[in-house]
Structure 1
Amino acid sequence: MIAKILKEAGFSENSVRIYVKLLEIGYASARQLAENLNLPRPTVYDNLKLLINSGLAVEKEEANKKLFSADDVKNLQYLIRSKIEKLKKDDQIISELLPNLNAKIKALEPKIKFYAGVEGIKQVLKDLLWYENMETLTMWPINEMVEILSKDYFENLNRRRIRRKIAIKGIWPRDKAVNFKDYPFLGVGPGHLRELRLAPRGMTWNMSYWLYADKVAFISSRAESFGFVIHSRDFSDLIKAQFAQIWKLSKPIKAQPQYTDEFLKTV
Structure 2
Amino acid sequence: MQSLETILQSVGISERAIQVYLRLLDTGPASARQLADNLSIPRPSVYDHLKLLVSNDLVIERQQENKRIFAVGDTNVIQHLLRDKIKSLEDSTATFTRLLPTLQVQAKSIEPKIKFYVGVDGIKSVLRDLLWYENIETYTMWPISDMVHVLGREYLEQLNRKRIRNRISIKGVWPSDKIVSLQKYPFLGTGKGHLRELRVAPPQMTWSMSYWLYADKAAFISSKKEVFGFLVHSQDFAELMKMQFDAIWSLAKPLPKQPPYIDDFLRTV
Q: 1:136 aligns with which of 135, 138, 160?
A: 138
Report SS of the residue matched to 1:19.
helix
The corresponding residue for 2:66 is 64
CA displacement at 1:87 relative to structure 2: 0.5
| 4+ residue runs over 6 A deviation | none
The corresponding residue for 1:259 is 263
The within-5 A match list for 1:1-267 is 1-116=3-118, 120-142=122-144, 145=147, 154-155=156-157, 157-173=159-175, 179-180=181-182, 184-198=186-200, 205-220=207-222, 225-247=227-249, 248-252=251-255, 258-260=262-264, 263=266
Report SS of the residue matched to 1:108.
coil
* Residues 173 and 91 of structure 1, relative CA distance in 2, 3 Å threshold: same
* Residues 4 and 138 of structure 1, relative CA distance in 2, 3 Å threshold: same
CA displacement at 1:47 relative to structure 2: 0.8
CA displacement at 1:186 relative to structure 2: 3.5
Identity %: 54
Q: How many residues align?
A: 265
* Residues 193 and 7 of structure 1, relative CA distance in 2, 3 Å threshold: same
Report SS of the residue matched to 1:81.
helix
Residue deviations 1:160-189, cap 9 Å, x none? 534544320123456765555565543321
Q: C-alpha root-mean-square deviation of aligned residues, in Å?
A: 3.3
- The one-letter code of the counterpart of 1:194 is R
TM-score (norm 2): 0.79
The worse-fitting range, judged by mean Cα deviation, of 32-41 and 133-142 is: 133-142
Higher CA-based Rg: 2
* Partners of 1:138 and 1:168 within 8 A in 2: yes
Residue deviations 1:10-40, cap 9 Å, x none? 3222112112212211112111211221111
Distance in structure 1 (CA, Å) of the matches to 2:190 and 2:243? 23
* Residues 253 and 27 of structure 1, relative CA distance in 2, 3 Å threshold: farther
Distance in structure 1 (CA, Å) of the matches to 2:89 and 2:171? 35
Report SS of the residue matched to 1:83.
helix
* Residues 233 and 67 of structure 1, relative CA distance in 2, 3 Å threshold: closer
CA displacement at 1:216 relative to structure 2: 0.9
Report SS of the residue matched to 1:45.
helix
- The one-letter code of the counterpart of 2:255 is P
* Partners of 1:137 and 1:211 within 8 A in 2: yes
Distance in structure 2 (CA, Å) of the matches to 1:149 and 1:81? 41
Distance in structure 2 (CA, Å) of the matches to 1:150 and 1:7? 34
TM-score (norm 1): 0.79
